[in-house]
Amino acid sequence: MDTNNEPIQNQDQNSDIDGFSNERLISDHEYDGIQELDNDMPPWWKYLFYITIILAIVYFLGVHVFGFIDHQNEKYEKEMANAKLSVSELDIINAKTAVVLKDEGSLADGKETFDKICSVCHGKFGEGLIGPNFTDEYWIHGGSMEDLFTVVIEGVPAKGMISYKTQLSGEKIQNALSYILNLQETDPPNQKAAEGELWIAPEEEISSEADSLENVGDEEAVESTTE
């Protein structure tokens, strides 16, 4: 009998027993009359703790020993290099150097940008919604590539259009504008009324002036012949 009672006596000496749950209480761990049960930690918590230790070891070896994980300074330098590359690319293709492209690859890339960003305000086919119609010959801020590139870079805050200088590269802007300018005279349904002024390209202006001078010369020649 004494042998059987010994574990119970030892247990009573080392810890208290909760009278309600009949479970062990942590000795000398009482606050305001509240004692804490001496429960083991849940297995999932211990496994999670082990996993964090393993990850810490892998991270240490990857960063400081074998180098297969980039250090935060290296990540920063790579991101800065990519940012500088984007800026330099934008400087190469800008409002002064951008041209209207006709190749399928550039137009397909421009259409992707148009569908993702521009169509929200200008319509799926460029017919105009909140923003103006892209398929007619009227432009609010000018219809040249330089004019349009400047609008994209600077935005039109008064009309709710943000600047895309930091969101799109020069190449992306050039391709998107090339696609937009190729929408001219496509005549989609539900077109928005024309806004702005009729845009005549400088080449067309020179051609028109030459035709006018030629017509005036022909008229003078006819008059002198009849006299």
Same domain for 100 and 157?
yes
User: What number of other Cβ atoms are within 10 A of residue 58's Cβ?
Assistant: 13
Q: What angle do CA 121, 124, 129 make, to 5 degrees?
A: 35
Helix (H, G, I), strand (E, B) or coil at 36: strand
Indicate whether 217 belongs to any domain. Answer: no
Residue 67 banded pLDDT, cuts 50, 70, 90:
confident
Residue 7 banded pLDDT, cuts 50, 70, 90:
very low
Residue 15 banded pLDDT, cuts 50, 70, 90:
low
Indicate whether 221 belongs to any domain. Answer: no
The predicted structure's pLDDT at residue 25: 62
Indicate whether 53 belongs to any domain. Answer: yes
We report the CATH number of the domain holding residue 173 as 1.10.760.10
Q: What is the DSSP string of 182-212?
A: TTTT---SSPPPP-SEE---HHHHHHHHHHH
Indicate whether 126 belongs to any domain. Answer: yes
Report the phi/psi class of residue 216: left, alpha or beta, with left for phi > 0 and alpha for psi in -120 to 50. alpha
The predicted structure's pLDDT at residue 200: 85
Distance CA 18, CA 23 (A): 5
Task: Output the CA–CA distances (angstroms, integers) from residue 91 to 25, 97, 106, 146, in the order listed.
Answer: 72, 9, 19, 14
Beta-sheet strands, E only, within the chain: 16-17, 24-31, 34-37, 138-139, 197-198
Domain count for the chain, please give it: 2
Indicate whether 76 belongs to any domain. Answer: no
User: What does the DSSP 8-state code read for residue 110?
Assistant: H
- Segments forming the whole domain that contains residue 126: 89-201
> What is the distance, to the nearest Å, from the Cα of residue 47 to the centroid of all Cα atoms in its chain?
38
Same domain for 116 and 163?
yes
Same domain for 195 and 101?
yes
Residue 3 banded pLDDT, cuts 50, 70, 90:
very low
Same domain for 96 and 52?
no
Indicate whether 119 belongs to any domain. Answer: yes
Same domain for 48 and 140?
no
Angle between helices 104-113 and 170-181 (to 10 degrees): 100
Residue 206 banded pLDDT, cuts 50, 70, 90:
very low
Same domain for 193 and 103?
yes
Same domain for 102 and 192?
yes
117-173 per-position pLDDT tens digit: 999 999 999 999 999 999 999 999 999 999 999 999 999 999 899 999 999 989 999
Q: Any bridge partners for residue 34, and if so which?
A: 31
pTM: 0.52
The predicted structure's pLDDT at residue 16: 64
The predicted structure's pLDDT at residue 142: 92
Same domain for 39 and 133?
no
